[in-house]
A and B are shown apart, each in its own frame.
Chain A
């Protein structure tokens, strides 16, 4: 079983602050995704990273995949109340696996206060 641990579990910050959320595993993943989930909705894909060391930027969000493809981080610059939500990382199954199932972390609940 591939486990993904996210930290912190809860984060409450003021508008304008920066933050980083971490996603760690002892397993290697072929890809790693970040999703955001708002109350009453399903998770929505934000980004996919596939190459060790890869960095992707989505406006104020910066995603990084670890060199060994076992961990990832999400950094938000100048957080806004609209960034509030549950952030989930998910690892794509190994390329040699029989199914392309995703393993999800337990999530980071982010609250950005105005």
Chain B
């Protein structure tokens, strides 16, 4: 059981380049999320999705776009990378039952923009 899989694991981009990060989950979760993690700032929500075909902005959405064409996949795009987007990106999926929201994370993508 793979859980949440992110690709790629590492990437170096030049300023202005574009790229797409792929997240795939095999747990049939409705909710999926993209976070970025920077030193001393914890996890900050970029975008999230509550189901196939739906997306919404999180805390720090500027410079990113997302798509959820299939329930199991959640894509994060950077149209024109900037050095401020150097970070570790985590995808997560979660279920919500009763009062519980529990998330499962991928291993992360370390992105450096030079």
Contact = CB atoms under 8 A, between A and B. Distances in A.
A90 B100 contact: no
Given A40-B107, A43-B43, A31 B99 contact: yes
Contact of B43 (A9, A88, A92, A99): A88
Interface band, chain A: 20 to 34
By secondary structure, the A interface counts as loop
Given A33-B102, A106-B41, A106-B42, A99 B107 contact: no
Contacts, number: 79
Contacts of A1: 59
Contact of B103 (A40, A50, A102): A102
B100 A31 contact: yes
A30 B56 CA distance: 21
Contacts of B94: 100, 102
B14 to A, nearest CB: 25
Interface residues of B, number: 30
A104 B106 contact: no
Contact of B107 (A9, A35, A41, A92): A41
17 contacts: A33-B103, A35-B103, A42-B4, A42-B107, A48-B102, A88-B42, A99-B48, A99-B50, A101-B48, A102-B33, A102-B92, A102-B94, A102-B103, A104-B35, A104-B45, A105-B42, A106-B42
